[in-house]
Structure 1
């Protein structure tokens, strides 16, 4: 916590410089105090009488939901914590998981091993969602590198809830459910969904480690999502967002 700036972090730094002429760490990330809804500091020491051990909450809510909580907060200030927060986070988790489930369901007959032109059959809405995916990848990579995990949380939640669930998946229902299985526009949408699904698993992996691994193994031949490189934006240059706005 921030009180350790003048404690362990400073004493470790000064001692290491005196003995080794170098800092003992490349980067030091600290967070504010974890507090309850009354603003009372949660600590194992002192007289705080509520559960403070992470194992209690992992056992009650699961490790992925605890990690999702940690990623959702701006830790540069004091960190609010309560059981009620897990109810709201549960809704977010189910939304992300349901988005992955729908994408995976739509890929059940997609020939992922077949080489296809990246733009074959893409219409405007396909190009738009892939352009949005590129922006999400840029934003998440930047946020991870700067330890701004709450920005990763909000970016991926927004992408799943709005861009995918409310727009793209809804708009493409007719071609996915009504077109012939090998119809050109249906295959193009599956190609876009396949790329989105893989990128989402990779971007979620540092936070939802078990959910991302489970989702990845349902659709990919490689052994683990945690052995994969992060996705990179493609810079497609289609300007589909501008055309969608028109």
Structure 2
């Protein structure tokens, strides 16, 4: 027999159940309850206290999952983002006094198993750990907070490849503040990207200046740069700040550097 069943039997027998400040189960009745009921209540007092405590705990204002505990022992899972107050109002209209408790389960956006229901009613179901962001997204967040590019953080040695895994669970703003206050970041050489000028002769022999930037670079240059970056960043043997490359990295760097814009 479940705790909900015993609570329902106690109500029918005129027994009022409550949990005292010391966490003990308290029984109140106008007349002596049946002996077998008292014995059952004593044998399952831990489960009954857990159920009553969960029903009396402050509920979250919103939750995706709510548990409706009915007097017949059933637990109905109500899924969908709604306010707890609204769900309780609807449940009271539908079930009336048959509804013993409404328990919100914050942090979950899926139905739960039977064992998880028991933990949720007892208030011991832990919220799931937040999923870690992909390392590339985390790195981009850190770079954006520092006003730089992800490549500069890696090439400058401010972050290592292992940091993308080991520190991805730390808030990006915390990492950005740490880097910003480091001597390596403060004393770093500011990267200034100067445009490349190419002088050609105009129609009447007048020189014309054509400024070439990455925006006007040929597709071969972009392809070579992307292949180089895509290899160097994840490669454990390559470290651009110190000029250390594996054989493939060195070949990609040579191809990248040899692209002509003329």
Q: Shorter-chain-normalised TM-score: which range?
A: under 0.3
Question: Which has a greater percent of strand?
Answer: 2
TM-score (norm 1): 0.22
TM-score (norm 2): 0.21
Q: Larger Rg: 1 or 2?
A: 2
Higher relative contact order (CA 8 A, sep 6+): 1
Question: Which has a greater percent of helix?
Answer: 1
